[in-house]
């Protein structure tokens, strides 16, 4: 059963991970591999697009927690975007909005990275 998949698209220095399907304890390792791959390629400006994600359990949320420190240590960030209300509600219940930037659209998340980079240069 193809219950979960990820794909990555690079726009300049920013990488977007697209999530599709059901993210649970069984499929979370696939997302770990995707994020590890980006970090190994020294890509630390990461946007995650949740638009096609139908379901998430705490195992899925745990993946974002496992990598955020490493990414931020390298002057990057993982910005989350385009969540359905159902998925956002789970992030909200666990207090994620305090620690992660969550945007309505992928574009907003990308623009935020660009603004930050412009300020730095």
Partner 1 sequence: MKAEKSKQNKNMLEIKSRTENLAAIRSFINSAATEAGLTKEVIDNIILAVDEACTNIIKHAYKYSPDGRIIITLKPDKKTFTVEIIDYGKSFDPNIVPNPDLQKYVDQGRVGGLGMYLMKTLMDEVKYYSVPGKFNQVSLSKYINSNGR
Per CB under 8 A, residues contacting partner 1 are: 1, 3, 22, 24-26, 55, 57-59, 61-62, 65-70, 86, 90, 93-96, 98-99
Tell me the C-alpha distance between 121 and 118, whole Å: 5
Pick between residue 22 and residue 114 the one whose CB is nearest to partner 1: 22
Pick between residue 22 and residue 51 the one whose CB is nearest to partner 1: 22
In terms of Cβ atoms closer than 10 Å to its own Cβ (0-12, 13-18, 19+), residue 16 is buried
Pick between residue 21 and residue 37 the one whose CB is nearest to partner 1: 21
Tell me the C-alpha distance between 115 and 99, whole Å: 19
Could you give the angle at which helices 28-40 and 58-73 cross, rounded to 10 degrees?
A: 10
Nearest approach, Cβ of 41 to partner 1 (angstroms)?
A: 20
Nearest approach, Cβ of 81 to partner 1 (angstroms)?
A: 19
């Amino acid at each position: 059963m193809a219950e979960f998949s990820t794909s990555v698209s690079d726009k300049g220095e920013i990488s977007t991970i697209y999530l599709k399907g059901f993210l649970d304890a069984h499929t979370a390792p696939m997302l770990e591999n995707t994020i590890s791959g980006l970090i190994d390629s020294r890509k630390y400006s990461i946007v995650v697009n949740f638009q096609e994600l139908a379901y998430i359990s705490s195992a899925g949320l745990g993946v974002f927690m496992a990598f955020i420190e490493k990414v931020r240590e390298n002057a990057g960030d993982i910005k989350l975007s385009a969540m359905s209300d159902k998925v956002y509600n789970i992030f909200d219940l666990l207090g994620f909005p305090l620690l992660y930037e969550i945007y309505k659209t992928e574009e907003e998340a990308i623009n935020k990275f660009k603004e930050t980079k412009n300020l730095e240069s």
